[in-house]
Each structure stands twice: as C-alpha cells, then as structure tokens.
Amino acid sequence: MNVLFAGGGTGGHLYPGIAIARALVRADSRIEPFFIGALRGIEREVLPNTEFPFALLDLHPLYRRQIWLNWKTVAGGVGAWHRLGALVRAHRPALVVGTGGYAAGVTLAFAAAHRIPIVQQAGDSVPGLTARAFSRHSREVYLSFPEAAGVLRAGHEGALIDTGAPIEPPPVPRPDRSAERQRWGFPANDGSVLLIYGGSQGSLAINRVVAQWIDRGLPPGLHLIWGTGRATYEQFRHLEREDVRIRGYLTPIAAAYAASDLALVRAGAMTTAELFAWGVPAVLVPLPTAAADHQTTNARALERAGAAIVITQQELTVETLDRTMRALLGAPGRLAALAQSASARARPNAAADIAARILRIIAAGRPGTAA
C-alpha cells in the first residue's frame, strides 16, 4: 500500500514525515512510503540518505515582497501538477500525508481535487498557510501543540487530534548519561552539560553571543556541546577546548541529547519535542522571522507549561545569557522542576500513535477490510 508524504523546505516540515513513515513501516510492512519534496528545500540533502524513494519538484514560495517573482511560483506549480499526475498514476496512493512547506501545498491541492484521502501533521502552535488551507479537507490533523486547535477549522468533529510532534523516540533503555558524557570527553559526573544549536542550519545570532560568552568565561563546571551549523562552523571552530565541543552539524543528535542537562535552542516544534522526550529542559530563543512569529508562540506556550525559559533574540546578550545560566545552575531544584515539566510535556510515542490512526483510515477505505 503506497502512502505519499509531501512536505519539506525546512527540517521542521520534513523530519515529522520521516518519523511517521518509519513508524508506519514498523507497524505494517506492506506500507510503501514515497516522498514528494521541493528542489530548493532541505529534502534534497536529507532524502537521498533515507531508505525511502522520493521525487523533488521545482516549487517556489509565495514572494510577498517581490511580487513580480511570483511567475516562478505559478510556473513551478503548473509543472508540479503535471508531475504529480504521473506520480499518482504510478503509485496509486491510498492516502497523502502533508507535513507543511511548498511541496505539501500543491500535493494536498492535487489530492483534494482527485479525492485522495488526506491527513496532515501541523507542527507549530500557529499552523502555516498550508495546514490552515487544507484542514477542512483533511480526515485528521495531528497537532504538535494543542494550542493549534484554536487556529484550524476542522472538516468534522474529532478531526483535530493532539498527538504531540512525531519524532524518533529515545531508545529503551536510555543510554547512560555518565557514559555519554565521557564519549564527549567530559567528566562522567561532575558539572553540567549545555547543548547549544540553532536548528538544522544553525543560528548566527546565537553563535555570536555564545562565542562572546566563551571568551568572557563560562560558569564553573559547565561544559558545552555546540552545533554551529555547517555554514558558520569555520568561523567558530577555533573556540573548541577541553570544556567546549564544537560541531558543524550534530549527527546523530541523540548522542548530544543523551549527554545534556540543559539546552539553549530555537523554539521549533521538532527541536522542543525531541528535547523534552529526552527530559532536557530548554532556554528558548525564538526565531523572530519565523512565519507568523510562530516560534515565539511555541516558546511562550512551553514557558507557561513550566518546561522552558524564554529569551527573545533582542534580549539575547552575553550578559543576559550568563546571568540566566548561572541562576539555573545555581538552583538545582529549579532546573529539576524544569526537567520534570519538560518530561511531562513529552510525547515520545507520537509517531507510532499517528501511524496507528493512519492505518485505521486506510483500512476503513479498503473494501472488505475491517477498520
């Protein structure tokens, strides 16, 4: 049974689909996922390294400021529509899963026009344009943040489902934290480990402040695992030392989660979902240019839940960062409460739960098969 996954552009729109696809195959080996992405998205780097077949389409965003460039959007959409027709005829999908981004918009439109069942995964507390446009056409919409239900219009009662963000769950049993620290060259039990990264591309704004912080002097006993992003790795790699480990890209990132006590990160849905599944609380610096400022909304929701502390990018200075970290490290009870609230917010089995619901939808639509 073929299932088309459409989404990408950013890791937050691609990795949920990969997690759901893997959960589907684990649950039913007859499922054959096929991914549809955009040539200009992160999927062109990620999908060739997965086990799944895929097609990349020449798609473009809506150019809101340079409106004269929208001819590329129209031309790309027309070409993609014809390509989708060929792909659907070849694969005859039982269902389409949309996870956001350029590729999801045109693919969900094609599916709706041809009466192919649709489900969506909405990653942020303020869902994007694609999620909003197709929520009424979707059999089910799986919410990473329950707050998103107030933004979407469901096609029927019960279509909006709070599942949490689909991630690759931590292994059972969990890796030993002391052993994982030693793998990074840190003391097994002394001090604390802070994980820093700004998403799959890194964050120059965060990196610059962290570099100043290292030069100024870190709190005693603090060790850093710092993912700079590949584009700026050469700019900061010289700062590596005994208590600072610097990588352009953290892979496998589970090795960093397993060793960390706290994180300084952006407020993307996948980032926070993975951290919380590992029981790692976060100081969140929302990306101010994110669509509809959804990262700030994400971050404030998690702060209200007691699972994170928010520092806006405008507030992020070396003084603010140093003061915040010293206060947390000097109050073990507060750090433990953050970690407990982070774990309470975690939904490590979200991908498996979503896969089970998708399989029921597929079964209900197959003649002679019990739902």
Q: Which two tokens stand for residue 358?
A: 């998708």
**Cα–Cα nearest to 42, from 15, 4, 60:** 15
Q: Which domains does the chain have, with CATH numbers?
A: 2-169+349-364 (3.40.50.2000), 177-345 (3.40.50.2000)
What whole-number distance in Å separates Cα of residue 102 and Cα of residue 232? 26
**Cα–Cα nearest to 108, from 94, 93, 119, 123:** 119
What whole-number distance in Å separates Cα of residue 113 and Cα of residue 85? 11
Contact 135, 108 (CB under 8 A): no
- Phi (first) and psi of residue 313, to 5 degrees: -65, -35
Q: What is the pLDDT of residues 272-325, one digit of tens each?
A: 999 999 999 999 999 998 877 889 999 999 999 999 999 999 999 999 999 999
Q: Quick one: DSSP state of residue 307?
A: S
Whether the model pTM is above 0.75: yes
Contact 288, 312 (CB under 8 A): yes
Q: What is the pLDDT of residues 81-119, one digit of tens each?
A: 999 999 999 999 999 999 998 889 999 999 999 999 999
pLDDT score at 370: 39
